[in-house]
Structure 1
Amino acid sequence: MGANVANILPDLSFEVEKGECFGLIGESGSGKSTVLRCISLLLQHWRGDIAIGGTSLRDLSVIDRCRTVQMVFQDPYGSLHPRHSVRTVLQEPLKIHKLDRRQERMEQALEEVGLPISFLDRFPHQLSGGQRQRVAIARALILEPDILLLDEPTSALDVSVQAEILNLLSDLRRRRGFTYILVSHDLAVVDYMCDRFAVMQAGDIVEVLDRSALVNDSATHPYARELISASVAYDRAS
């Protein structure tokens, strides 16, 4: 192996059930977002395997992979091209995948995220942060994936808008049966969204817990207990 090889996620392994919302929590630099970038193959130079429904991610064609897994990024300001209209943003994946009924699909995607059809001809600078994130979610939905990777999807938004986006994501999961893998530093978000969550430290998972562990103090690993108690203490102080 070359001298520049870095072992960032040394021995990481977890399973997510179909239709589950699975959370990844931990301090900054613990590897949470790196996991999502490996699953989406935005990072490709890693060893190991990721299987979806028993099929290795690397065995899927690019088309099939994009139709299976989509990602919603943290920053709705950075994830949309400033010179592309909403129509262009939503139309591009439909063109790449040669899908028909494009106008119908775009209108349906906007309707699903609670935006009017007239927004197709708006540009990002004409939208609020919450509206931009809704467009980003619509872009992820339009290929009808099975799995959505959510990388801090509300942390860049005003507090007043965060609940709206979380409610939207929760409703979409209920109606469409999505599987979510959610990265968050906010345990209130994890408590609201997730069935189970993994606590990460230094690129490894130290404990996987049910959501109930946030209130019944059932974590056993010292770092997991410390992280949860610190978050609870912070929420009470706020």
Structure 2
Amino acid sequence: MTRFQVATLVSFASAAWLCAANWTRPGGTGPAYYPPVEATQIQTDERSVQAMHPVLEYGRFGEWDSTQNYGCTVLVVDDEIVLYYLGADWGHGHRHQLQTLRAAIGRATLRLDGFVSLRADEKEAVIATKPMVFAGKNLVINADCPKGSLAVELCEGDGKPIPGFTRQDADIFTDDNLRAVMTWKGKSDLSALAGKTIKARFFLKQGDLYAFQMK
């Protein structure tokens, strides 16, 4: 059996707290071993409500990684986030029957930007961004809603819908795509909005919105 020695346990939440400029460490100042991966409620004003679910759960009882797992730096390979981790089916204090204990390297994968999403059920949800200066010529989304729908409305900085880019003009997205270019009556070119302050409203039903970007 190969012995593994882990000098320090670094949590995902701790790493994010050290690297992010505008991120509030969940759970106060104590140890945090799981990052927030799902918002528990949606409000119209600023909020910080997280559900502390693990990104990488232990294996089920009897499986090789049922008791311990230690992750390392994540990698981006093709269109997936890849995490190699040490897993074991024994805990601290085991001194006997080493021949029955197991430890191995596991490989976990996640879609790009898949750590967190805005999720809507059968009831349509509306997500509005803060004002932002548009840069680029397309609005690209990472979303999964083959059983639902997603439409985007573009607005002036004051919230007034921009003619030609209203919800009524929006083409409905019903797919699972990491880089879907949004369109309005077949039009995707947003060059005319470059440099302008806008807001985006996402109308989401039975699906997940992981990310959006201007390109």
| Interval of TM-score (by shorter of Structure 1 and Structure 2) | under 0.3
Q: Comparing both chains, which one has the higher relative contact order based on Cα–Cα distances under 8 Å and sequence gaps of 6 or more?
A: 1
Larger radius of gyration between Structure 1 and Structure 2: 2
Greater share of strand residues, 1 or 2?
2
